[in-house]
Amino acid sequence: MFERLRKYPEALALEQAIRTAGLLPEGASDPAVLFQNQFAQPLICLYQAMAWAVLAPALPEVELFAGYSLGELSAYACAGMIQTGDLLRLAMVRGKVMSEAAPQPQAMLAVLGLSARRLEPIARAAGVFPAIRNGERHLIFGMPQACVAAFRAAVLSAGATRVVQLPVSVAAHTPLLQEAAAAFRAELEKVPVFPAAAPVLSGISAERVYNREGMLAALSAQIQQTIDWQGCQETALASGCRVFLELGPGDSLVRMLREDCPDVEARALSEFHDLKAAAKWAGAKLF
C-alpha cells in the first residue's frame, strides 16, 4: 500500500518524520497484527496523510472534505484542522478504545435491496443497530456476533437481494460502542485544533464543520451513532460539487457515487499510476 507513495519526496519525508518521532505503533510492521484496530487505523491514516502531502500543492481549491468512518478523522487533517502527529495518535487511540469496548465478538452486515423503513422493525426485533446508510437500499448494521444468523435469515426472508458480512470484529457506529465514544472524546479534548482550509462534512449529520467544538462532537459521536454517507453525498452535490477525488486506499466511495450520480466526475487515487496526474485531472475537470 505504501510502496507507490515512497517515490514522492513529499510523502517519503512525512513518513520518515513520523518514524523518527516514534509515532507509529510498536509492532506495526508485523503482518500478523496489521488488521488489528490499533495498528490498521493509524496506518490507513498515515497512507492518507502521505497521499495528501503529494496532492495538496497541485490541487485546485477544495470546496469540501468528507471521510467515511475512520476517513472522517483523516478529513480533518487534510483540512488543516489537526496535525499529522495528532492524527496518528488519535487513530491509535480510536482503534484501541473501539476494540476494548467489544469484549464479546461483534459483527457488521451490509444489507442491499430493502429500504430503511422495511429494515428498522426487523433490526429492532433482532437486537441489531443501523450503522451506516450508504443509499436508500444499501444499509449496514452492527450487532453482537450471536445475532448474525437470525438477522441474516430475517432480512433475506423479507426480500433482501444481498447480505454481506464485513471483515470486522467491532460494531462501529452503534450504541454498542458508547464507552469507546466517551473515551475518544477525552483524547480529542487534548488536541490543538486549527482553522479549517475548507469545511468537513460531519458523517452523522452531513453538516459542515468549521471549528473545534464541531469537530470534537462529530468525531466522538460517529463512533456510536449511525453514519449518513448518503446524506454527505447529497450535501456535497447540493453545494455544487461536481468533481470528487477519493484518497483511498481503494475506490468504494467513488463507485457508490458513480452509481447514484453518473453525471459527476469522480475518480479514486488508485486509478492513477501517477498521483500528481490525479491532481491534474481534478484541475482540468474544474476549468
Q: What is the pLDDT of residue 37?
A: 83
Enter the pTM of the model.
0.93
Question: Given this model, what pLDDT does residue 255 score?
Answer: 95
Of the listed ranges 16-20, 115-119, 181-185, 219-223, the least confidently predicted one is: 16-20
- Ordered structural domains, the chain, with CATH: 3-101+174-286 (3.40.366.10), 106-165 (3.30.70.250)
Model confidence over 224-280: pLDDT tens digits? 999 999 999 999 999 999 999 999 999 999 999 999 899 999 999 999 999 999 999
Owner of C-alpha cell 467515511: 68
Residue 274 has a pLDDT of 93
Question: What are the tens digits of pLDDT across the range 29-53?
Answer: 677 777 788 888 999 999 999 999 9
Closest CA to 199 of 209, 207, 190, 189: 209
Which residue, among 147, 122, 125, has the nearest Cα to 139 in the 3D structure?
122
For 87-111, what is the mean pLDDT?
95
Our CA angle for 170, 216, 63, nearest 5°, is: 100
pLDDT band at 27 (very low <50, low <70, confident <90, very high): low
For the stretch 192-197, contacts whose Cβ atoms lie closer than 8 Å and that sit 24 or more positions apart, written own/partner, are 192/82, 192/83, 192/86, 193/81, 193/82, 194/80, 194/81, 194/82, 194/83, 195/80, 195/81, 196/76, 196/79, 196/80, 196/81, 197/62, 197/79, 197/80
Give the mean model confidence (pLDDT) for residues 84-111. Answer: 95
